[in-house]
Amino acid sequence: MDDLHGEQLSAQLRALEERLSRDYADVPARAVHRCVEQEAGRFAGARVLSFVPVLVERAVRPRLERGFVGT
């Protein structure tokens, strides 16, 4: 059974978003939020949530580094 619940996942994703906003200060916070939301949405039906924050971060960082934040 997965040990990460929805509230914990949300808190970890918020912390990730804050960290990414600090690391990529030149990218608007709204764009960082959108990227995190988009990537996290890919795991909406996942049964195991433990690795979602890591997977989201690994997908978002290259997008922010390239300057592509999507729509």
Q: Does residue 19 surpass a pLDDT of 90?
A: yes
58 vs 30: CA distance, rounded Å: 19
Specify the pTM. Answer: 0.85
Q: Does residue 20 surpass a pLDDT of 60?
A: yes
Tokens describing residue 61: 């960082």
- Placement of tokens 């924050």 in the chain: 53
Q: Does residue 47 surpass a pLDDT of 50?
A: yes
Tell me if residue 25 falls in helix, strand or coil. coil
Q: Does residue 2 surpass a pLDDT of 70?
A: no
% helix / strand / coil in the chain, to the nearest 5?
65, 0, 35
Quick count: other Cβ atoms within 10 Å of Cβ 31?
18
